[in-house]
Amino acid sequence: MALVEEALRGRLEAFNQLVARHQDHLFGLVFRLVPDRDQAADAVQEAFFSAYRNLESFRGGSVRSWLGRIAVNAAMDMQRVRHRRPVQPYPEFEDDSWQPPAGEETEPESQSLALERSRALARALGALPFEQRNCIVLFDVDGYDYAEIAGIMRVSVGTVKSRIHRGRLALRSALAPNRELFRG
Amino acid sequence: MPRSAADHAAHDELLIARLYGGDVDDRERARALELVAVCEGCAALYADVGAIADATAALPVPPRPRDFALTEGDAARLSPRHRFRGRLLGLGRRRSFGGAMVSLGFSGLVLTFALSIFGAVGKPASLDAGAIQEQRAAAAATAAPVPAPADNNFGANATAATAATAIPAKAPETASPAPSPAFYDGATPGAPAVAGGGTSNAWAPSAPPAVPAAATISQSGWDGREIVLGGSTAALALGMLFLLAPAIRRRLRGGARR
């Protein structure tokens, strides 16, 4: 909050401290919505531009949520553009040169399984309509509740619930050939 | 006892997904829990939905490709003053505005000329130019001796004049309320007062020379067609200026460099 006030007084360093604090989280969120690293980066950059332009509109509360809302809107704008010019979803998961950060599974077999699971899930997520994908990611990954998602996406709470439930069923159908990857 | 896959096909999968999302009322919850308890397919569905949700939350994210900190240049570009200037002078907006003004001006010109042409076509064929000249001369000769006092009612005079020349008079209410004597006098000797460009009553046989002039001239002395013509021309010129401004500026800059 203090950083926002300082940024409002024209201190760019204060705003850039906010950027440093939240950019990883926002990139992680947007990357799951816009399944292309470059486009996700562009959306996050645009979100920070938008936040800087609209600092006066910050009404207090959680800066993280405020920035998250702006980033989701930027990602949705990007998705609408991408909808017209589709690209391969989540190319990073198909690229062997990029490996996800190692988790608790230190065994090579476990790591390989986790990577396979991520690839399959990313492909299935990328095949979902972006309205369903957005709702699922916001709910499962970022922990927004139904009402918050409805506010961000400007639809009714019922629509959000329906998109999440139907999206999950669609994901399960898409992942049917890889079901064993998800049964531990 | 577990039910068969055939039984599961008839079960409401959306209800199971809603159970996982916590989007069920008490009655639905009881029904969904019963399905999960007795149907293998529903139990597997419930487990799969949970596993997929967990895997989605744990989906790895590649490292961000760059730092998103704003530069001084970004901050200057995003400042309100720059934004206002950008909006005002934005190329797209300027082109839109210029295009709109050109369209408006061109439409106005076309409309004006179309009205002129159709107005001319609509003139009565029974009156040729000679007859009109004769009528004007007769009207002028008849109207000239009539004194025009300062507080004269113009409509009354016009009526008297037309009665003397047996030309059907226009209704007095169409005349202006109190024209100045100078205006009236100037209209009489062989040069009947006409509207604006001086042609408006050339094909108006039902009115004496002075009456339509008073009816169509506005307080400022401009008629509607002239106003539309002027406005359209101005809009066209302004639009062209907006559209050509970048080229003009480039040429001026090029000339300054040379």
Which value, to the nearest 10 degrees, does the dihedral of the CA atoms of residues B60, B62, B66, B68 take? -20
Token couple for B205: 């046989």
Highest averaged pLDDT of the listed ranges A14-18, A83-87, B245-249: A14-18
Q: What is the pLDDT of residue B121?
A: 56
A145-167 residue pLDDT tens = 899 899 888 899 999 999 999 99
Mutation target vs A (from B54, B70, B82; most A CBs, 10 A cutoff) = B70
Residue B16: closest CA among chain A residues belongs to which residue?
A165
Long-range contacts, stretch B200-206, CB < 8 angstroms, 24+ apart? B202/B123, B202/B132, B203/B120, B203/B123, B203/B124, B203/B127, B203/B132, B205/B124, B205/B126, B205/B127, B205/B132, B205/B135, B206/B167, B206/B168, B206/B170
pLDDT at A83: 60
Q: With CA atoms as reference, report the closest residue to B36 among B59, B25, B20, B22.
A: B20
Q: Residue A136 is nearest to which of B56, B61, B74, comparing CB atoms?
A: B56
The reply to whether residue A37 touches residue B18, judged by beta carbons under 8 angstroms, is: no
Both structure tokens of A103: 């988790």
State residue B253's pLDDT score: 65
- Chain B positions in Cβ-Cβ contact with residue A102 (cut-off 8 Å): none
Q: Which residues of A touch B5 (CB under 8 A)?
A: none
ipTM: 0.79
| pLDDT in the model for residue B172 | 45
The model's pTM is 0.54
Closest approach of A31 to chain B, Cα-based (Å): 7
**Nearest-angstrom CA–CA distance, B148 and B181:** 6
The whole-angstrom separation of Cα B142 and Cα B192 is 12
Query: Residue A65 pLDDT more than 70?
Result: yes
Which residues of chain A lie closer than 8 angstroms to B49, CB-CB?
168-169, 172
* Distances, alpha carbon B160 to alpha carbons A24, B169, B207, in Å: 93, 9, 13
Over residues A39-54, the mean pLDDT reads: 92
| Candidates B53, B57, B83; nearest CB to A168 | B53
State residue B4's pLDDT score.
Answer: 57
Q: Which residue has the tokens 């090029």?
A: B254
Whole-angstrom distance, CA of residue B55 vs CA of residue B45: 15
Instruction: Output A20 or A34, whichever has higher pLDDT.
Output: A20
For residue B18, count other CB atoms closer than 10 A to its CB.
21
Contact A27, B64 (CB under 8 A): yes
Residues in chain B closer than 8 A to A28 (CB atoms)? 61
The residue of chain A with its CA nearest to that of B57 is A141
Return the pLDDT at B215.
45
Cβ atoms of residues A141 and A109 within 8 Å = no
DSSP code for B3: B
Residue A42: per-residue pLDDT:
92
The CA-based angle A32-A36-A42, given to 5 degrees, is 95
Question: Which residues lie closer than 8 Å to A24 by C-beta, 6 or more apart?
Answer: B64
- Average pLDDT value over all residues in chain A: 84
Q: What single DSSP character describes residue A137?
A: I
What does pLDDT average to in each consecutive run of 10 residues of chain B (258 residues)? 66 93 93 93 93 89 88 84 57 72 88 78 51 62 52 45 44 44 42 44 47 48 77 88 78 62
Residues β-bridged to residue B3:
B39
Do B62 and A98 count as a contact with CB atoms less than 8 A apart?
yes
B87 shares contact with chain A (CB less than 8 Å): no
B33-58 in b/e form (b: 16+ CB < 10 A) is: eebbeebebbbbbbebbebbbebbee
B33 compared with A78, residue with greater pLDDT? B33
B183 vs B206: CA distance, rounded Å: 22
**A84 Cα to chain B: minimum distance (Å):** 22
- The answer to whether B147 faces chain A, any CB pair under 8 Å, is no
Contact B216, B197 (CB under 8 A): no
Q: How far apart are CA B21 and CA A156, in angstroms?
A: 16
Residue from B196, B189, B257, B201 nearest B225 by CA: B196
Q: With the CA atoms of B222, B227, B233 and B237 taken in that order, what torsion angle do they form, in degrees rounded to the nearest 10?
A: 100
- Chains A, B: CB contacts within 8 A come to 114
d(Cα A153, Cα A148) in Å, to the nearest integer? 9
Is the CB of B24 inside 8 Å of chain A's CB atoms?
A: no
Nearest CB to B52: which of A19, A53, A172? A172
Mark which residues 56-85 of B lie under 8 Å from A by CB.
56-62, 64-70, 72, 74-75, 78, 83
Residue A91 pLDDT > 80, yes or no?
no
Nearest-Cα distance to chain A for B63, in Å, is 8
Q: How far is B60 from chain A (nearest CA, A)?
A: 6
Contact B187, B193 (CB under 8 A): yes
- 3-state class (DSSP) for residue A36: coil
Whether B69 and A165 lie within 8 Å, measured CB to CB? no
Neighbours of B192 (CB within 10 A): 22
